[in-house]
Structures are given as structure tokens and as C-alpha cells.
Amino acid sequence: MSTRLIDSLVTTPALAAAFDDEAYVGAMVAFECALARAQARVGVIPAAAAEAIVRAAEEASFDVRELARESRAHATVALPFVQALTTRVEAVDRTAAAYVHRGATSQDVIDTALVLCVRRAWTSIAADHRRIVDALRRLSDAHAQTVMLGRTLLQPAAPTTFGLKVAGWLGGIARAWRGWLTSYRSLLVVQCGGAAGTLAAVGPRALDVERAVADELGLGVPDAPWHAHRDRVAAFAAAAGIYAGTLAKAARDIALLMQPEIGEAAERGGGSSAMPQKRNPSGSTIVLAAAQRLPGLVSSVLAGMAVEHERSIGGWQAEASAVADAVQAAGAAAAALADVLESLVVDASRMRRNLDATRGQVLAEQLLVMLAPHLGRARATELVKDAVVESQRSSRSFAEVIESMPEAMAHLTAQDVAVLAAPERHLGAAEAFRTRLIDRAFAAEE
């Protein structure tokens, strides 16, 4: 019951489960149990009360429709949840009910619950990320020597290797992951501030209680309650957006390479409801669709940061939905890309054919560099352009055309012409960049 069908491309079953009603209520329950246990440990409430609260909470079932309806009356789901929980505890132990949610405020429950849901989602995302980087390393290593067209503005540029292209994806994804991971770790802190962020109602041992709640939940203790300061959440959401952007880069490249007129790579693909012959870049499409949600969601979280005083009128209340959507979309993109990469079929010979179809004209840059010192830049440019035109007109190779131009050959060695005929000799630092990218990506992973 976790995935809403209309959202099925922008989440996964595992991710949807991390934010569904069971998970969300469970996370609120976890906060209240941790609070009770912590106060008992510190000695500010009776141990028996804490036990009763935990027992009742863990056994309770909640009417989610009712909670949803009531949440609209109070602009928070925490209030009806705490009331419902108190009723459950009262049924079991009247005295213990007095200690439910003691000293805490709605936002303590909601914020900590969100952190717990995110942590649950993270496990599945991290596994998919691992699959991505492993697949990328394999692909890059396998294609270190696979020469292909570089393409700028969708037009042939100088040659490159598929290994470098893939390592470029890896570099971006690994750097973005490091950023997301950093912000994720910063987010793993408890929210425990009470009515106005001073924990006053908890009493003199408030800091001990805060520490104990955090320990119970396996979370860190922040410098201070962050009810009114959403930078950690915003940084986490923004980093999700950046990570998704790096996934989208790879997916778009793959979808473009999979155009049959190019045909250099293909994912296993999905079908069409109308056309039996179709093989679609379905995985890449999901990556791009999911990633597209992020910029808007990030902007929404950023726009909510200007909290009014100690709790906002709207900005904060809009945050949890956006964060849940952002995590699911970024994670859905990761899951889809992992699948795509693990089964990507690369057609190295087609890469070569497409490169050869340019008849070497993509090395015009190189020729210009060689001739300019001898002929002057202006004349060299003219001559190179003439050669390009002639190669296009005559369907002869660029090297052949050059060899027929005495003005050019006066300044070129046989070796120079050989380079022009052999794009694999015009790869510059491709391999050096490739290994640097992989080394740093995996260094960062440690």
C-alpha cells in the first residue's frame, strides 16, 4: 500500500515505504518512546511510567484517516497523534499518561520523525548508489580505449573515449554523493526543544534528557534546537537535487546515445503500449523524470527557511512533504540508473563508425594548432576551412585532402598527417583524466 500509482515513476516501493503512514506513525512513536525512556533514565519521570508508555505506544494502532483530518484542524499532525497516544496510555496506565510527550512540543515529534524516515530511506539509496559507482567503474575500465566522438551542442567535436565519458559521470556522481552524505550526516540530529526551544518544561536536567533522547534514537545532539533554523534540512534537500542532477546527466547522455541513428549504447529498455517493435530508454526516462522534480522541490524548501520567530506560519509546515518527495525522487533516479548501468550494452564498433563518418574533420582543430604558427592564424583558419569543405564535398578523408594541399604539407610531417588520420592518436589526456576521476571518486568513497 505504499506507492501511490500516479507517483510510481518518482519513487520506489522501498522509498515509498520509508515515508508511508506506517513508517511515519512509527517514527512519531519512536520519538515519544525515546523521550519517555530518556526521562526515566535521567530520572525525571518514573521508570514504570516510561515502560507503560513504550508498551502502549508499540502496541497501539492509530486511525490514520482520523489523524489526517484532525491535523488540518491544528496545522500539525503531532497534536492529534499525541492525544491519541495519551488515550492509549491512559487505557493501560492512568498515571503514566501524565508523562506522555512531557516537556516536548509538536515540532519535536515532527522534525525527529522526518529525520528517522529519511534515515530509513537512506539505506536503500546508499545501496543503489553503490551499484551505480561499481557499474560505472567497470564500464569505464572496460572502455578505457574505446574511441568515440566527443559531441558539443550535439555536434561532433574532437574524439574522446567512452571510458572518459563514463568516468566523467562517475566523477560528478561521486562528488555530489559526498556532498549529500555530508549533509545527511549533519541532518541526523534530534529535535528536542520544547515549546519555545529552551526545554524549560523538562526541568533542570534538560540537557541530559536531550542527550538521552538522541542516544535512544541513535541520533546526534545539535548545537541547539533547530525548530526555527532549517539550514540542515535545506542543505540536505539541495544536495539531493545536486545528486539527482548528476544522475540525470548520465541518463540524458545514454538516451541520446541510444537513438537508433546513433546507436552507440542501449539500455535493456521497456516497451510501448502501441508499438511492438519499440525498445525505449525507459530507465533513463525514469531517471530524468524523477530528477526533474528536484529543482522545484529544492526551491520550495529554500523558500521556507525564513521562519517567523520560533515557529513559522506555513514555511515549516510545507517542508516535510517536499523533503519526502525530494528523497524519493532522487532515490528513484538512483535505483533506475543503477539498473540501466548494470545492463548497459555498448557498441564500440558503432562508436568508431560514427567517428569515421566525419572523415577526420573533427581533427580540424589539431590541424589549425599545427599550421597557425607557420601560416599565421588567419591564413591557417582559411586553409583548414577549405579542407573541411573539400572533404565534405568530395567525401574524401580529411587527411587525404590535406595531403593534396601543398601549402599545408610544406609545414607538416608524415607523422602529423598520420595523427590526422588516426583519431585514437588524438586523445590527449583522456586516459590521465579518466584515472584521476576514478581515483578521486573512490578516495572520496572511503
Catalytic positions, please? Answer: 272, 311
> By CB under 8 A, is residue 258 in contact with a second copy?
yes
> By CB under 8 A, is residue 368 in contact with a second copy?
yes
CA–CA gap between residue 92 and residue 51 (Å, rounded): 11
What is the per-residue burial (b if ≥16 Cβ within 10 Å, else e) of 205-220? ebebbbbbbbbbbebe
- Judged by CB under 8 A, the residue of 38, 135, 291, 412 near a second copy is 291
Nearer Cβ to a second copy (217/298) = 298
CA–CA gap between residue 427 and residue 414 (Å, rounded): 19
Give the number of residues written for the chain. 446
> By CB under 8 A, is residue 219 in contact with a second copy?
no
> By CB under 8 A, is residue 119 in contact with a second copy?
no
What is the per-residue burial (b if ≥16 Cβ within 10 Å, else e) of 313-329? eebbbebbebbbbbbbb
Nearer Cβ to a second copy (32/216) = 32
Closest CA to 258 of 287, 290, 283, 295: 283
> By CB under 8 A, is residue 424 in contact with a second copy?
no
Indicate the residue type of 12. T
Pairing status of strand 345-346 against strand 265-266: antiparallel
> By CB under 8 A, is residue 121 in contact with a second copy?
no
> By CB under 8 A, is residue 116 in contact with a second copy?
no
- Judged by CB under 8 A, the residue of 37, 101, 143, 211 near a second copy is 101
- Judged by CB under 8 A, the residue of 59, 274, 414, 446 near a second copy is 274
Residues 405 and 375: beta-carbon distance below 8 Å: no
Q: How far is the CB of 341 from a second copy (least distance, A)?
A: 16
Number of other residues whose CB lies within 10 A of the CB of residue 363: 24
Indicate the residue type of 397. S
- Judged by CB under 8 A, the residue of 158, 213, 344, 420 near a second copy is 158
> By CB under 8 A, is residue 278 in contact with a second copy?
yes
Pairing status of strand 147-152 against strand 155-161: antiparallel
3-state class of 148 per DSSP?
Answer: strand
- Judged by CB under 8 A, the residue of 78, 190, 219, 402 near a second copy is 78
Number of other residues whose CB lies within 10 A of the CB of residue 272: 11
> By CB under 8 A, is residue 290 in contact with a second copy?
yes
CA–CA gap between residue 117 and residue 374 (Å, rounded): 66
> By CB under 8 A, is residue 140 in contact with a second copy?
no
| Residues 299-358 close enough to bind a second copy by CB under 8 A | 299-300, 302-318, 320-322, 324-325, 336, 354, 357-358
Q: How far is the CB of 313 from a second copy (least distance, A)?
A: 5
- Judged by CB under 8 A, the residue of 64, 126, 144, 181 near a second copy is 64
CA–CA gap between residue 386 and residue 404 (Å, rounded): 12
Q: How far is the CB of 26 from a second copy (least distance, A)?
A: 11
> By CB under 8 A, is residue 43 in contact with a second copy?
no
- Stretch of residues binding a second copy (CB under 8 A), selected from 51-59, 118-126, 131-139, 230-238: 230-238
Q: What is the 3-state secondary structure (H, E, C) of 10-39?
A: HCCHHHHHHHCHHHHHHHHHHHHHHHHHHH
- Stretch of residues binding a second copy (CB under 8 A), selected from 51-59, 119-127, 341-349, 384-392: 384-392
- Judged by CB under 8 A, the residue of 58, 356, 365, 445 near a second copy is 365
Q: How far is the CB of 294 from a second copy (least distance, A)?
A: 6
C-alpha cell at 434: 579518466
- Judged by CB under 8 A, the residue of 14, 53, 133, 168 near a second copy is 168
| Residues 2-31 close enough to bind a second copy by CB under 8 A | 3-10, 12-13, 19-21, 24-25
